[in-house]
Amino acid sequence: MKKALIFILLFFTVSFAKEVIVNPEIQKKMNIKTIPATYKDITLSKTYPAVVSEDPTLSFGVSSSVDGIVDTLYVKPGDYVKKGQVLLSVYSPKIADIQANIEMAKVKLNTAKQVFEREELLYKEDVIPYVRYYNAKIEYEKALGELNALKKMLNSYGEVKGNSIILRSKIDGFIADIKVIKGSPVNVGEQIMLIHSHERLWVIAQVPFEDVQNLKIGQTAFVLAPNGKKIQGKLTYINHEIDPKTRRNDVRIVVNNVGDILKPNLFVNVEIPISSSKGLVVPSSAVFVENGKEYCFVKNGNKFILREIKTSQKDEKEAVVISGLKEGEEVAYSGVIFLRSSVFGGGTND
């Protein structure tokens, strides 16, 4: 019995020796590395596949306000255009008609004006009665009103040059589509070309339903472009429906396409921070579980001391320690398996 007791005692001292002494040279050779535990903001984020698409609010369709024929095209598809840049001119018979009417009205006005001036003179001389003068005045004002009406009408069709109207871009952007060629007829209500601005894009991420709960509209998200760049964006919308094909929930992230990195239909990943807090952080590889308890090794000189700790959260890279560790303590995060098995045995069944 006594022997058994001693044996049990021995067993415990052997199995639970809580520190491991490793000389620096061996530490180096076995790649045992340490890092101080630090307080910092930690964000836990997850990554999802996504596709880039255009922001429909930043698209501009070009159409003619009048039926006509394309006179001149000044741009090609894919051209970058500035606001106010001339895109095309459309010859319209209607404009020509109006122009002709304006000429007519001008002549008419001129005649009416001369009549009016003579009659005014004659009236002042009391040659003619007031009625005659008054009639001439009305004629003149009518002709003036007609001309003005025609001019206004012409203006309502936009910028007119000769018998054509000039269409200009209203935004900075790319010519995405041109549906006409020189000489094509155009009708009112038909889109002639499409201009997109890629200054701002939408990134639609496919997020599994169970992860959506953690997301908030308005939160920050990052788009990981294939070239390795990380672009900040804003989560603006969570679709109310699950995509029947992918069984995932589409989430919209709006990004400013700085440097024109992203392009519509590009496959990207988005990294969405799920939670964020301040805490004592160590690399995840420093923490290990034995018998349901969490441990790490704290370095003190050549000694590595086993320390029981508790973590609140852990991802692939980092773990947040809530108890058992102080800021600045050196924690082993590489080669931990050797320290671990020298305390807990060679992966054996204890």
Partner 1 sequence: MIENILKFRIFVLFLLVLTVSFGYYSYKTLSIDTFPDPTPIQVNIYTDAPGLSAEEVESLITKKIETVMSGIKDVTTVRSVSLPGLSYISVFFKDGTDVYFARRLVMEKLSDAKAQIPSQYNPIMGPNSSGLGNVLIYALTSKSKSLVDLKTIEEWKIKPLIKAVDGVEEISQWGPDKAFLVKIHPDKLLSYGLTLEDISNAVEKNGGVAGGGFSKTNEGDLIVRATNYLTSIEDIKNIPIMSENGYFLRLSDVADVEVGEVPNRRGAFTLNGQEVQGNIVLKRVNTNTKDLVDRLYQQFEEIKKILPKDVELKILYDQSYLTKKAVSTVEKALMEGIILVAIAMVFYLGNLRSALLVVLSIPITLLMAFIFMKEVGLSGNLMSLSGLAIGIGLFADATVVVVENTFRNMFHNPQNLSKIQIIQIAVKEVFKPVVFAILIIIAVFLPIFSFESVEGKYYKPLALTIIFALVSSLVVAFVFMPVLSYYFLKTPKSEETKVMELINNLYHKILNKALKHGKIVLTGVVIVFVFSIWIFTKIGTEFAPTLNEGSVLVKSFLNPNVSLEEAKRVAFLVEETAKQFPEVENAFSNIGRAEKGEPEDVNYIETFIILKPYNQWKNFKRREDFENILREKLKDIPGVGFSFTQPIQMRIDELLSGVKSTVAIKVFGDDLDKVNQIGQKIEEIVRNTKGAVDVETEAQSGKLQLKITPKRDVLAKYGITAEDILLVFGKYFTGYEANYLKEGLITFPIVLRLPNDYINSLEKLASIPITTKNGYLLSLSDVANIEISEGFFKIRHENGIRYALVQSNLEGRDLGGFIKELKEKIDKQIKLPEGYFIQFSGQFENQERAMKKLSVIVPMVILLIFMLLYVNYNSFKDALIVILNVPFATIGGILSLYLSGYNLSVPAAIGFIAVFGIATLNGVVLISYIRQLIFEGKTVDEAINVATRLRLRPILITATASSLGLIPILLSGDIGSETQKPIAIVVIGGIFTSTMLTLLILPIVYRMFNKGA
Q: Is 335 helix (H, G, I), strand (E, B) or coil?
A: coil
Min dist. Cβ of residue 30 to partner 1 (A): 5
Cα 322 to Cα 34, 38, 175, 280, distances in angstroms:
19, 12, 56, 7
Q: Which of 35, 43, 49, 256 binds partner 1 (CB under 8 A)?
A: 49
* DSSP at 258: G
Give the span between the Cα atoms of 236 and 232, in whole angstroms: 13
Give the span between the Cα atoms of 332 and 311, in whole angstroms: 16
Site for partner 1 in 289-308 (CB under 8 A): 304
Min dist. Cβ of residue 190 to partner 1 (A): 26
Q: Which of 18, 29, 83, 278 binds partner 1 (CB under 8 A)?
A: 29
Give the span between the Cα atoms of 57 and 54, in whole angstroms: 9
Q: Which of 5, 13, 31, 181 binds partner 1 (CB under 8 A)?
A: 31
Min dist. Cβ of residue 54 to partner 1 (A): 17
- Among the residue ranges 34-42, 171-179, 228-236, 241-249, the one whose residues contact partner 1 (CB under 8 A): 241-249
**Smaller CB distance to partner 1: residue 133 or 333?**
333
Min dist. Cβ of residue 213 to partner 1 (A): 15
Kindly state whether residue 218 participates in binding partner 1, applying the rule CB under 8 A.
no
Kindly state whether residue 275 participates in binding partner 1, applying the rule CB under 8 A.
no
Kindly state whether residue 349 participates in binding partner 1, applying the rule CB under 8 A.
yes
Give exposure, 298-328, as e/b (b: 16+ Cβ within 10 Å). Answer: bbeeeebebbebebeeeeeebbbbeebbeee
Give the span between the Cα atoms of 146 and 110, in whole angstroms: 12
Give the span between the Cα atoms of 48 and 210, in whole angstroms: 13
Nearest alpha-carbon partner for 48 in 252, 196, 193: 252
- Among the residue ranges 10-18, 96-104, 179-187, 250-258, the one whose residues contact partner 1 (CB under 8 A): 10-18
Which positions lie near partner 1, rule CB under 8 A?
3-4, 7, 10-11, 14, 20-23, 26, 29-31, 46-49, 51, 206, 208, 244-248, 267, 269, 304, 315-316, 335, 337-342, 346-350
